[in-house]
Structure 1
Amino acid sequence: MASGKIVQVALPIHSEQLFLYSVPRRFPEGVATGKRVFVPFGNRKAIGYVVGHESERKVDFELKDIIDILDESPLFDEKRLDFFRRVSEYYMAPLGVVLKFAHPLGLGKSVGKTVRITEEGKNRLQQRGLADLERKVLETLLLEEELVSEKLLELSGKASLENLNSLQRRGYIQFDYRVISDEKVKYEKIYRASCDSGSVSEIKRKKPAKGTILEFISSRDSAPHSELKEIFGNFTVHVKWLVDNALVSVELKEIGRDPYGAFDAEEERPEKLTQDQRMAMEKILPYVTGDEYRCFLLHGVTGSGKTEVYLRVVSEVIAKGKQAIVLVPEIALTPLLVKRFRSRFADAVSVIHSALSEGERFDVWRRARSGELSVVIGARSAVFAPLENLGLVVVDEEHESSYKQNEAPCYNARDAAVMLGTIYGCPVLLGSATPSLESYANAIRGKYEYLSLPARVGTNRLPDVELVDMKNVNETVFSPHLRDALVENFSRGEQSILFINRRGFSSFLVCGDCGEIFRCPNCSITLTFHKKDNSIKCHYCGIMQEFENTCAHCGARYMGKGLGTQKVEEQVKSMLPDARVFVMDRDYTRGKTKLLDLYRKLESGEVDVLIGTQMVAKGHDLPGVTLVGILSADHMLGIPDFRSGERTFQVLTQVAGRTGRGIKPGTVILQTYNPEHPSVRFAISHNSSGFLDEELELRKSLDQPPFSRFISFRVNGLDEEKTRDFAERMKRTAERFLLNLPPGSLRVLGPAEAPIYKLRNRFRWQIIIASGNLGLLRNYASALYDSLKKHASGIKLVVDVDPYDFM
């Protein structure tokens, strides 16, 4: 029987259960909701999050004590905990997993396995018969007493974890667990003079180099290490002597890392609003001033000034002393948005996304939590930014599938943003030129308020779209019409964008004699040939190797088939040898600096032709671009996904919208083998509403989202037969549970092999559960998951609510 103060702790494990722990008397005040605690868990120790506590409660079993409290102040308050709970419940993800995901690794507390030698181990060292590696491990421990397992393996040569496990089973070593602190706080040395002017002159006379540095430090209140290094170069020997002789004192000062600190953003005057923008603002602002939730769908054609509306609304939010989150679907979009927001709000704006270092993310997280930031811009994980005085959430390009995460927690940042708005009582603004069918349907139903920006800002008009039916063209890359237009555009000194949704040089390689296709050994997909470094790569598992052009089956040579950005680049350079040609895809623009450099070149007119994948289609405002060539509109139509038509329309419309934004009109040349497909037909006429209405009717007739809801169960495993057997078990269990429901109230689709059946050496199956009744669907899925997870040994089971990825 345990009594006294008890806390609920969420652990980052795949279990929905919350665990009870007692609070020892030595922690009378320290424990609080939102803090991390170090707790015993089974035969190990773990870090968990306090999510509730009770001052008095009795349980009929013995509770374990908390070992330690790891945080000085809570990481989250009750309101943010409410948000985390909703994300956890809706997406069927354990609360502890959500909490760990929502907080940066730079918070610096992890659990390390430690190893100590036992008395029995010490005795065994005196005897013969030990393997060399085992002896090395025990001798290392004898010298060091206790080591973290990773460090022990490093010091003892080629020892493995199994070597340690074997020694532990025989009683020669013992394991324990402790908290390892590695906070990503960055410090800089600051030097101050601690002598009078006479001493400075004396030192300068006797030791000129040291005296010059001392004189510089004395002439100011303090001198940071970075400044001294910039001025004096390798000065460390000199300054060490000054410190050792008490002529200079040194202290550590915490400094923040700003990932876009060097990004030049001149002050920008607000643009004059159009009538449509003013009408949108008039609808939104009462909810900002009234601290009231309302979700708005801002449907504006490309170039209609959606970003200006975001800026004006955010300005009103800041004027009220509140904060805003601005979500973008791609890291590639953040530099542009950061530049515009910083031109209005200066350093009160910062960025969170996965390309930042752990330290940079940690610094932004702390600045946001302290209230130092007014605006956080970022990709989907920025929805978890700790802004306690939240007044607005903006989701730009709300239709983008990249807002959906495909690994636990499988949340959609757009929908999580709506949850956040309801909790904080603030408006949520969803913006897009091509809204998702889900958001458009919510606007029709009145759940969201629909706002329209039907025309471009100023005198700019939407570009003319010219269609090329490739069935009548012998060329595979450039039709004569697109080639002539590209040459003419370059001769006029104007910029062009070429869109091809594949990286690399050839999308697959096939033997010219036996027909063997070069496939990834880890995945059931073809390898892509990259000519620049003569390599073959898998864009799914990341495998890369040098390309040897010899078929392993017959010895003949391979032929490259299919298109990629590198092949297009080669042909453009051959066609236009004097053109400055650049590529924007994930291979060319890894890391934030390469993207920033490319943007600077684009803005300054140093790029004649930009070739890119979907990265070029999203949100870029490039007034110098007057021609867009879409090399193939058909690739995405062949993807086995009910959203393929919607995604094709969105990409075609978005990439077409990159041209005609400046003084000169723009032209789009669209090459396709399917000119009559609705996605192509509506994109040509810039008729977003027409496409949405027609697609909604089709979805309704097929009972697909948004008229029903899906939950997918994805399973994968290393053993093909075991994974297939589990998929069959999943089917039998699902059908048995279905007998308890009214006929027709729920559908079970599958199981079926995933279209990419093998990925990273794991075999993949999926089953989809569909129903128009969300409550019924969730209850059914929860019961099915609880039944299946007990049998999932060696199998990875992922539940995805409202899935976007069926590949």
Structure 2
Amino acid sequence: MNTHSTPHPVTSPVILHIAVPAPLYRGFDYLANPAFALPPLGSRVSISFGRQQVIGVVIAHKTTSDVPRSKLKIIESVCDQHALLADDIFWLAQWAADYYAAPIGEVMNSVLPVLLRQGKAAIASTQTVWRSVGEVSAMTNILARAPKQAAVWRYLQQHPEGQRAEDLDLAFSQWRDAMRELQLKHCVLEEQLAHLNTIENPQRHVEADMPTLNSEQQAAVERILSNDSGVYLLDGVTGSGKTEVYLRVIEQMLAQKKQTLVLVPEIGLTPQLLARFTQRFHANIGVLHSGLNDQQRLNTWLAARDGVLDIIIGTRSAVFTPLANPGLIIVDEEHDASLKQQDGFRYHGRDLAVLRAHKLNIPIVLGSATPSLESLHNVQRDRYHSLHLTERAGNAQTPLITVIDTRAQRSHQALSPALQIAIQTHLQQGRQALLFLNRRGFAPVMMCTACDWKSDCLRCDAHMTLHQQQQRLHCHHCGSERAVPKQCPKCTAEIIPVGTGTERLEQQLAERFADFPIIRIDRDSVRRKGALEAQLNKANQNTAHILVGTQMLAKGHHFPNVTLVGILGIDQSLLSADFRGPEHAAQLITQVAGRAGRAEHAGEVLIETRLPQHPLLITLIQQGYSAFAQAALQERQAASWPPTTHVALLRAEATQAHKANEFLQQALQHLRALPDNALTLWGPAPAPMEKRAGRYRAQLLLQAQQRNHLQRVLKNLPEQLSQLPAAKSVRWSLDVDPVDLF
């Protein structure tokens, strides 16, 4: 509902405070144009800003300004007669700009689809749809002598949702003349409908054939539906049926004619959830993610705003989708770091979803088999309700986990003898094996056999990865690439690939298991549109017996016939210098292991490592993720790290290392001089990867025991930092609640 949406005539020179699309931390004052009705809060206006014509968002009406009225510009035009942003979105955007110390104009820009940022009218594009009219008995006589018309009419009758021109082109070689005659006979209705990126079902209902809930699932559904609001952490082991809980709660939302917003961390999870939802619900379902074009995003955004869509599934930015009848928000895989924006407006989709649900007074469900320590901490503080699913659905058994010590194994040999034997055994039983290696490419580095040359990136403190199929070296940090040298550039000796990536693993598996089809799923193999869905279909249809991939393969997917999971190359995660490193490693291992034995067949997990006695591995295997998480929370509290304290990371980068450090030293002195400063300051220090994309990076960590202490400093800090003498020679950013320190 928009309480600020009604336009009023301009009776006096009202001052409009406007957020402009620029990296500036304040709004700008303009005079309302008496030629137009007063634009309401949350509406767009066209203004002259500097030498440009831009689209801004009205964020306040004022009667006074720090700038003399004679110097204020008048707005050029009004784009919206009513507020474009609903009350909750308008409030959420302003709150997020304050909390994340982000430029208000950039935040407002992020909230709107691209075409609306450009000033396009908030109207969906349309498409022509034809529907049949009348009963079969009545149409038989009318169409008795027109078989072509009869065929088209019967086809339309079989598709009551209506058919587009492209649908009819697939069904008939010639149909337009017949359609024209059918319209003249009033047998067909032609409509102009919004061109949506949706699954449309005019007859909305729920499929009757549903699995029986176990006692824990039933209790979770009842608890969520027992209150009109609240945050529910659905903590369920992998394969415990969290999605079925989502579906049952959504069913009740549909019955109440309320909308559900579902957030997923990555685009790769959208097709799977969409398939589950469309199998269960005959409802209007829309998707929002970066794979859509600008018009599709706008159409879906508008359909959600107007209440056309019942369910909206989207990635991080979908948290800002307007809802006409909000009933429920779900955040699937709530622990996933992909829910945090890592550049520009650095917001966390999960945290804003929780805040929005509270503002709307509706329930929100956070689902995960490996809940974030932040969410578990909120459960301990009675801010979230905890719901546990400890049983695997369908009586599936928890997989047996075994650690394989690979210290004696050569670096280019990815497959230990024990893992090879296990793969052979499971394949001979007609099962599938999933091999996880979170390192794409053929080999992470090439090295000279005679000198110290390595395939280092010239722009980063990192090695370039060999991609053998392309015969190119790629830097996975800055994107630069070059041809593979035929010999060592330094001494002309032979160079060899060292280490293993998913390409090399796939090659070794193909050599060892030549009779079994293999698919690889990583960012390189699924670049083409539809490639990921095609590979996942092969996995689900058992046309591929061995699945190889990175996190893209392991995250959230359900492969019923996978009974063996091999986890390779995890030692780097275990040795991370980031204080969140152990948490991320534990989540990754648990999530990947959970792909094994999710149906009636027993599962087995083999973990290859050179650190077989690592405490994290021992805890996970012997006691599980929950025990690890509780111990990790205690360690964080003892060390005064989040979530028991609150941090923001000030990053700086420059073409010369001393310039980044100089800026941060000035920032440090400024922060120390602030009155009532209750912050602990760590640094400045070089970033873990100091040089990246030709720029040197350093960082300063701001830490506070109380959130309001940190927010008090952050409120004016961006403007203060921009005034520092060294500010013009660096790029700097503030990251509030960073998910990593890299």
Give the TM-score taking structure 1 as reference length. 0.80
How far did 1:68 drift?
0.9
Q: Report the Cα distance in structure 1 between the residues aligned to 2:321 and 2:56, rounded to whole angstroms.
A: 20
How far did 1:461 drift?
1.2
Q: Report the Cα distance in structure 2 between the residues aligned to 1:25 and 1:87, rounded to whole angstroms.
A: 32
Rg bigger for which structure?
Answer: 1
- Match status 1:46 vs 2:47: no
Q: Report the Cα distance in structure 2 between the residues aligned to 1:268 and 1:682, rounded to whole angstroms.
A: 43
How many residues matched?
Answer: 698
Q: Report the Cα distance in structure 2 between the residues aligned to 1:42 and 1:664, rounded to whole angstroms.
A: 67
Q: Please, which of 193, 197, 204 is the counterpart of residue 258 of structure 1?
A: 197
Aligned match of 2:319: 383
Q: Report the Cα distance in structure 2 between the residues aligned to 1:399 and 1:230, rounded to whole angstroms.
A: 43
Aligned match of 1:134: none
SS at match of 1:579: coil
Q: Please, which of 66, 71, 75 is the counterpart of residue 84 of structure 2?
A: 75
SS at match of 2:287: strand
Q: Please, which of 434, 439, 461 is the counterpart of residue 370 of structure 2?
A: 434
SS at match of 2:703: strand
Q: Cα deviation per residue 1:287-322 (whole Å; 9 max; x = unaligned)?
A: 2xxx3x311111111111111111111111222221
Letter in 2 for 1:393: I
Letter in 2 for 1:781: L
Q: Report the Cα distance in structure 2 between the residues aligned to 1:182 and 1:8, rounded to whole angstroms.
A: 22
Aligned match of 1:338: 274
Change (3 A) 1:286 1:587: same
Q: Does the 8 Å contact 1:633/1:680 carry over to 2? A: no
Q: Report the Cα distance in structure 2 between the residues aligned to 1:86 and 1:431, rounded to whole angstroms.
A: 25
- Match status 1:572 vs 2:509: yes
Aligned match of 1:113: none
Q: Report the Cα distance in structure 2 between the residues aligned to 1:718 and 1:252, rounded to whole angstroms.
A: 58
Aligned match of 1:25: 34
Change (3 A) 1:252 1:298: closer
How far did 1:780 drift?
2.1
Aligned match of 1:534: 471
Aligned match of 1:13: 22
Change (3 A) 1:255 1:746: closer
How far did 1:367 drift?
1.4
Letter in 1 for 2:737: D
How far did 1:334 drift?
1.2
Within a 5 Å distance, the mapping from 1:761-780 to structure 2 comes to 761-780=694-713
Q: Does the 8 Å contact 1:4/1:57 carry over to 2? A: no
Within a 5 Å distance, the mapping from 1:69-218 to structure 2 comes to 69-71=78-80, 73-107=82-116, 110=118, 185=125
Q: Cα deviation per residue 1:272-301 (whole Å; 9 max; x = unaligned)?
A: 1110111112211122xxx3x311111111
How far did 1:218 drift?
12
How far did 1:577 drift?
0.6
Q: Please, which of 200, 205, 213 is the counterpart of residue 273 of structure 1?
A: 213
Q: Report the Cα distance in structure 1 between the residues aligned to 2:163 and 2:706, rounded to whole angstroms.
A: 66
Within a 5 Å distance, the mapping from 1:56-67 to structure 2 comes to 60-62=68-70, 63-67=72-76
Change (3 A) 1:557 1:357: farther
Q: Does the 8 Å contact 1:789/1:797 carry over to 2? A: no
Q: Does the 8 Å contact 1:259/1:356 carry over to 2? A: no
Letter in 2 for 1:774: R
SS at match of 2:492: coil
Q: Does the 8 Å contact 2:654/2:697 carry over to 1? A: yes
How far did 1:446 drift?
0.7
Letter in 1 for 2:416: S
Q: Report the Cα distance in structure 1 between the residues aligned to 2:320 and 2:89, rounded to whole angstroms.
A: 9
Q: Report the Cα distance in structure 1 between the residues aligned to 2:270 and 2:389, rounded to whole angstroms.
A: 23
Letter in 2 for 1:295: V
Q: Does the 8 Å contact 2:13/2:34 carry over to 1? A: no
Letter in 2 for 1:285: L
User: Bigger CA drift: 755-764 or 565-574?
Assistant: 755-764
Letter in 2 for 1:620: H
Q: Cα deviation per residue 1:671-700 (whole Å; 9 max; x = unaligned)?
A: 112223232113223612211111112111
Q: Report the Cα distance in structure 1 between the residues aligned to 2:593 and 2:372, rounded to whole angstroms.
A: 18
Aligned match of 1:755: 688
Aligned match of 2:137: none
Aligned match of 2:723: 790
Q: Does the 8 Å contact 1:508/1:528 carry over to 2? A: yes
Change (3 A) 1:359 1:551: farther
User: Bigger CA drift: 267-276 or 436-445?
Assistant: 267-276
RMSD: 3.3
Letter in 2 for 1:612: G
How far did 1:88 drift?
1.4
Within a 5 Å distance, the mapping from 1:502-517 to structure 2 comes to 502-517=439-454
Q: Cα deviation per residue 1:89-140 (whole Å; 9 max; x = unaligned)?
A: 1111122211111111133x53xxxxxxxxxxxxxxxxxxxxxxxxxxxxxx
SS at match of 1:519: coil
Letter in 2 for 1:296: Y
- Match status 1:484 vs 2:421: yes
Q: Report the Cα distance in structure 2 between the residues aligned to 1:347 and 1:361, rounded to whole angstroms.
A: 19
SS at match of 2:394: coil
Change (3 A) 1:227 1:416: closer
Aligned match of 1:297: 233
Q: Report the Cα distance in structure 2 between the residues aligned to 1:762 and 1:384, rounded to whole angstroms.
A: 33
Aligned match of 1:555: 492
Within a 5 Å distance, the mapping from 1:687-726 to structure 2 comes to 687-726=624-663
Q: Report the Cα distance in structure 2 between the residues aligned to 1:215 and 1:432, rounded to whole angstroms.
A: 52
Aligned match of 1:518: 455
- Match status 1:36 vs 2:60: no
Q: Does the 8 Å contact 2:690/2:696 carry over to 1? A: yes
Give the TM-score taking structure 2 as reference length. 0.87
Gaps of 5+ in 2: 1-10, 131-146, 157-161, 179-189
Gaps of 5+ in 1: 111-178, 191-211, 240-250
How far did 1:323 drift?
1.0
Q: Does the 8 Å contact 1:268/1:343 carry over to 2? A: no
Q: Does the 8 Å contact 1:184/1:358 carry over to 2? A: no
Q: Please, which of 541, 552, 557 is the counterpart of residue 615 of structure 1?
A: 552
Aligned match of 1:497: 434
Q: Please, which of 599, 602, 606 is the counterpart of residue 536 of structure 2?
A: 599
- Match status 1:800 vs 2:740: no
Aligned match of 2:243: 307
Aligned match of 2:298: 362
Change (3 A) 1:590 1:223: closer
Q: Does the 8 Å contact 1:11/1:96 carry over to 2? A: yes
Q: Cα deviation per residue 1:187-209 (whole Å; 9 max; x = unaligned)?
A: 5699xxxxxxxxxxxxxxxxxxx
Aligned match of 1:682: 619
Within a 5 Å distance, the mapping from 1:654-673 to structure 2 comes to 654-673=591-610
SS at match of 1:34: coil
SS at match of 2:577: coil
Letter in 2 for 1:302: T
